[in-house]
Amino acid sequence: MFKYEGLKKILFMFNPETAHAIAECGLRTLPYLKSIDNYMVKRNFIISDDLQQEILGMTFQNPVGLGAGFDKNATMIRGMKALGFGFTEIGTMTPRPQEGNPKPRLFRHPNQKSLQNAMGFNNEGSFVVAKNLAKVYPYSIPIGANIGKNKTTPQEHALEDYKILINRFKDISDYLVINISSPNTPNLRDLQNEAFITELFTMAKSLTQKPIFLKIAPDMEADVAIELCNTAVKSGADGIIATNTTIDYSLVPNPKDIGGLSGAVLREKSYELFKAIAKELYGKTVLISVGGISDAQEAYRRLKAGASLVQCYTGLIFEGPGMVRNINLGLLQLMHKDGFKNIQEVIGSDLK
């Protein structure tokens, strides 16, 4: 941690996008530095039968995954075990290449350990990303593909974008995630309605038997979110990921008026909506919790609330490459202290 604090000071001297590019360069290079990579994997990738799960035909050696948005173009997958992640999610990818929103579009709130991003699905397009992904798939940890429509695609043609993406990634990923909850593509969140979700998942399940998740926004009333999640599950969704970033700018001082907030300020908002969804859907579908998770206590709280898996992203920026290791070791301590034999006994224990 001390060593990362020094590195963090250097990285934080750069604007956030430049710092991200530096991190990407490091993670792309790491697999070629065998001795360093092996050391980091041995140190950070925690292997324990008590943490391992079989979910929807996938083996998760630990429950902590990388959330979408960090590895948009599938260039860093081979570095994920060195950071300790039990699974990774790439994207969001769009059918055609997309530059995203004008810069600057990524901002730090360091005192709140949070980020505000208005990236706008910047990515190299599904064809290029699929080529990158095909070079490493299948991998030793599950890989999810997070997909979204192009900004220029009219709402009435959104379904066609998702059809293209499902066909492109269904055979080179372990699961798919439908993203209609980003605040950075105009009117995208308008697709969070029962009619579109029904049509979307009916179509999706006709194209592939791979697990497909719906990722939802935190900025809706709990009863609306629950109804949408129920609709998705009835229409074929294999799970729910809650939540994306928030546009509740009251959570930070001096916010920008664009983009979504992630990190520590999202923690309670994300947890409360997840808890409400889990109360209704736990045991009926697979639940993944994301939003403000950066330590073992919070990950444990989400697991007990009904999450089978958790995801992190912003916490990694502020806590560094030892974060996932600390979460998994902490989870083992917490579950054994409370008398649980394994992670299956922890999941949903608050609801039993």
List the binding residues for FMN: 68-72, 92, 146, 179, 215, 243, 263, 292, 313-314
- Does residue 239 contact residue 213 with C-beta atoms inside 8 Å? yes
Which whole-number Å values give the CA distances from 83 to 96, 98, 250, in the listed order? 30, 28, 32
Rounded Cα–Cα distance for residues 177 and 311 (Å): 13
Strand order from edge to edge, sheet including 260-263: 106-109, 114-117, 260-263
Nearest to 299 by CA among 268, 321, 330: 330
| 112, two tokens | 């709140």
Rounded Cα–Cα distance for residues 10 and 3 (Å): 11
- Where is the binding site for substrate, in residues? 72, 117-121, 179, 184, 244-245
Residue matched to tokens 């129920």: 230
Rounded Cα–Cα distance for residues 311 and 243 (Å): 10
Rounded Cα–Cα distance for residues 260 and 113 (Å): 14
Nearest to 309 by CA among 62, 139, 137, 46: 62
First to last CA, the chain: 37
Rounded Cα–Cα distance for residues 30 and 125 (Å): 25
Cα-Cα-Cα-Cα torsion 231, 233, 236, 241, nearest 10 degrees, comes to: 110
**Angle at Cα 348 formed by Cα 347 and Cα 352, nearest 5°?**
135
Sequence-separated (6 or more) residues with CB below 8 Å from residue 171: none
Annotated catalytic residue, options 182, 262, 289, 294: 182
Rounded Cα–Cα distance for residues 322 and 213 (Å): 28
Assess whether 182 carries a catalytic annotation: yes
Rounded Cα–Cα distance for residues 241 and 312 (Å): 12
Residues annotated as part of the active site:
182
